[in-house]
């Protein structure tokens, strides 16, 4: 289970972030627990010390205390090196400091863009959940698909990519030695699989571990078996 922490010194914003997170966890039925919500960084740190579980930390930077969100994150890293740290702040100019402090932050979300806040928190929680599941279930990393009343299970290592089929509402699963077509949506599959898969195009979800080379000029991914995937210009930066 992942434990969620929120450290925000402004009550209205703290309540808003808490409500957004609770809705996401409930809606997605995630194995997560809201463990500590506080304006005091010392309270957060004491709760971190009490457990050995991995956490997701939503931290403001300017906390109005003797400890900033950056220094709190440094302390958290001592007790939870695998934790997922997300800064939620109005100080966009401080984003570069996360690199100076070597905090490996999952994201840096600006509170003054409210229409983006909920979406970014949602993406962070799903990304953390996928990474955590991948790290703890490598032995069981596989994908199951139902075709004509039969269920096929394929190891992630054997999957090259998922592709939208010309047939409506269907997906083609490209493996090293076979292909399978089944009912599904790329968006839903993207939520199921772990961090090794990347949505490189609206029609392709690629397994990065099975990429042989990438032709960025022509926007083509060459897989280990010779198959090819397309890269959209919008998704190229993330793949790099």
Examine the domain organization and report whether 10 and 114 are in the same domain.
yes
Instruction: Supply the range of the domain harboring residue 225.
Output: 141-239
Examine the domain organization and report whether 116 and 95 are in the same domain.
yes
Examine the domain organization and report whether 128 and 187 are in the same domain.
no
Examine the domain organization and report whether 132 and 163 are in the same domain.
no
Quick one: pLDDT at residue 92?
Answer: 65
What value does the CA radius of gyration of the chain take, rounded to a whole number of Å?
Answer: 20
Q: Are 196 and 208 in contact (CB under 8 A)?
A: yes
Examine the domain organization and report whether 101 and 213 are in the same domain.
no
Given 84, 116, 136, which residue is the final one in a domain? Answer: 136
Q: How many percent of the chain have pLDDT more than 70?
A: 92
Whether the per-residue pLDDT at 100 is higher than 50: the answer is yes
pLDDT, greater one: 240 or 174: 174
How far is Cα 76 from Cα 53, in angstroms, rounded to an integer? 12
Whether the per-residue pLDDT at 156 is higher than 60: the answer is yes
Examine the domain organization and report whether 24 and 123 are in the same domain.
yes
Whether the per-residue pLDDT at 53 is higher than 90: the answer is no
Whether the per-residue pLDDT at 65 is higher than 50: the answer is yes
Take residue 3 and report the two structure tokens written for it: 């434990």
Examine the domain organization and report whether 111 and 188 are in the same domain.
no
Confidence of residue 139 (pLDDT cuts 50, 70, 90): very low
State the average pLDDT over residues 17-43: 93
Tally of domains in the chain: 2
* CB contact set of 168 (below 8 Å; sequence gap of 6+): none
CATH assignment at residue 235: 2.40.50.1020
CA-nearest of 75, 194, 224, 216 to 129 is 194
Whether the per-residue pLDDT at 212 is higher than 60: the answer is yes
Confidence of residue 132 (pLDDT cuts 50, 70, 90): confident
Q: How many residues does the chain have?
A: 240
Quick one: pLDDT at residue 142?
Answer: 83
Quick one: pLDDT at residue 98?
Answer: 60
Examine the domain organization and report whether 33 and 131 are in the same domain.
yes
Identify the weakest region by mean pLDDT among 12-16, 33-37, 90-94, 140-144. Answer: 90-94
**CA torsion 16→191→130→216, rounded to 10°?**
-110
Whether pTM > 0.75 for this model: the answer is: no
Give the H or E element holding residue 101. none
Examine the domain organization and report whether 44 and 104 are in the same domain.
yes
Examine the domain organization and report whether 155 and 123 are in the same domain.
no
Examine the domain organization and report whether 71 and 109 are in the same domain.
yes
Query: Looking at residue 111, what DSSP letter applies?
Result: T
pLDDT, greater one: 102 or 81: 81
Identify the weakest region by mean pLDDT among 90-104, 174-188, 212-226. Answer: 90-104
Quick one: pLDDT at residue 93?
Answer: 61
Given 111, 136, 161, which residue is the final one in a domain? Answer: 136
Q: Are 172 and 179 in contact (CB under 8 A)?
A: yes
How far is Cα 192 from Cα 151, in angstroms, rounded to an integer? 16
CATH assignment at residue 86: 3.40.50.2300
Quick one: pLDDT at residue 95?
Answer: 59
How far is Cα 105 from Cα 59, in angstroms, rounded to an integer? 10
Examine the domain organization and report whether 147 and 131 are in the same domain.
no
Give the H or E element holding residue 109. strand 107-110
């Amino acid at each position: 289970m992942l434990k969620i922490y929120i450290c925000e010194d402004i009550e209205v914003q703290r309540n808003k972030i808490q409500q957004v997170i609770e809705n996401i966890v409930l809606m997605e039925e995630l194995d997560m627990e809201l463990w500590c919500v506080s304006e005091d960084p010392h309270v957060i740190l004491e709760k971190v010390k009490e457990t050995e579980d991995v956490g997701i930390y939503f931290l403001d930077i300017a906390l109005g205390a003797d400890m900033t969100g950056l220094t709190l994150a440094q302390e958290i890293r001592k007790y939870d090196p695998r934790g997922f740290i997300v800064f939620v702040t109005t100080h966009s100019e401080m984003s570069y400091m996360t690199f100076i402090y070597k905090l490996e932050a999952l994201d840096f979300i600006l509170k003054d863009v409210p229409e983006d806040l909920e979406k970014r928190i949602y993406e962070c929680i799903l990304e953390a959940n996928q990474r955590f599941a991948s790290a703890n279930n490598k032995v069981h990393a596989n994908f199951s698909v139902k075709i004509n009343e039969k269920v096929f299970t394929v190891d992630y290592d054997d999957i090259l990519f998922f592709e939208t089929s010309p047939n409506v509402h269907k997906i083609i699963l490209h493996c090293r030695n076979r292909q399978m077509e089944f009912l599904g949506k790329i968006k839903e599959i993207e939520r199921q699989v772990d961090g090794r898969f990347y949505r490189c195009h609206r029609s392709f979800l690629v397994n990065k571990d099975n990429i042989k080379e990438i032709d960025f000029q022509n926007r083509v991914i060459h897989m280990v078996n010779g198959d090819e995937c397309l890269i959209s210009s919008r998704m190229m930066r993330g793949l790099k």
